[in-house]
Amino acid sequence: MTAFSANLGFLWVDRPLPDAIRAAKAAGFDAVECHWPYETPAEQVKAALDQTGLPMLGLNTIRGNPGENGLAALTGREVEARAAIDQAVRYADAVDAGAIHVMAGFGTGPKARTTFEENLKYATSQTDRTILIEPLNRHDAPGYFLQTTDQARAIIETVGAPNLRLMFDCYHVGRTEGDIMTRLGELLPLIGHIQFASVPDRGAPDRGELNYAEIFSHIATLGWRAPLGAEFKPRENEEFTDWLNVFRSGGEVFA
């Protein structure tokens, strides 16, 4: 049976993070993940995780200044980027998060790539936890340095650290590259986490262009057993967990 993780960066955002963890447990999720938990004391998050028995799969490095979207590919900002990595490692250690997503930020060209790779070498040397990088689609994040899975693969191979992995978000890949099942199969040896949302509206997985019943089945046939990350934006007043039991029961989710 497919396991699912609730991304609390988008789900139950009206609640303090510990309460959102408890809500995810009550809804039937198998794990949780988050974006930027740093305003919540780590001991409160760890207590909620221990209470529910849910693992925290991952968290992000900070975005930086207002309007920024990460620091790791910004030439001249290495001190800040590495401080953000250190902050994420400390928090991940405190809550036993499985992975840290190092956000690249806005940039382009060879200098940005070199900066990103050097910061990733630093990140992977500071922890045995998985370090993730994630391509973001050009529609939602124009100007973001990391935009394609091919680009991510080349960087992972250049850095060469065993704990550097790809975060494969079916939504982002669906918006820019398509051919989700082929890309999953090709990239599986590099993938550290898989996320999903409907295309093109980034909603729940029971609508849109991608048939997630088929995609989840394909992921299972590839041998993937870790929870899949539900990183979608629910509609206002939507019962956004109805799809969960339907997918698990093998029922029809698409109208």
**Peptide bond just before 16 cis, omega within 30 deg:** no
Strands (E) across the chain are located at 4-7, 31-33, 58-60, 99-101, 130-133, 164-169, 191-196, 228-230
What is the spatial distance between Cα 157 and Cα 97, in angstroms, rounded to a whole number?
A: 24
What is the spatial distance between Cα 203 and Cα 144, in angstroms, rounded to a whole number?
A: 22
Cβ–Cβ under 8 Å, residues 205 and 197: yes
- Is residue 134 part of the annotated active site? The answer reads yes
Which residues, other chains included, contact 218 with Cβ-Cβ below 8 Å and sequence gap of 6+? 181, 184
Cβ–Cβ under 8 Å, residues 85 and 123: yes
Closest CA to 25 of 4, 39, 1: 4
> Could you identify the residue written with the tokens 């019962």?
239
- Is residue 238 part of the annotated active site? The answer reads no
Residue 23 CA, chain-centre distance (Å), reads 19
> Exactly one of 33, 78, 80, 134 is catalytic; which is it?
134
- Please report, for residues 38, 86, 100, the alpha-carbon distance to residue 44 in angstroms, rounded to integers and kept in the order given: 11, 20, 19
Cβ–Cβ under 8 Å, residues 40 and 17: yes
> Exactly one of 39, 118, 209, 231 is catalytic; which is it?
231
Give catalytic residue positions. 134, 231
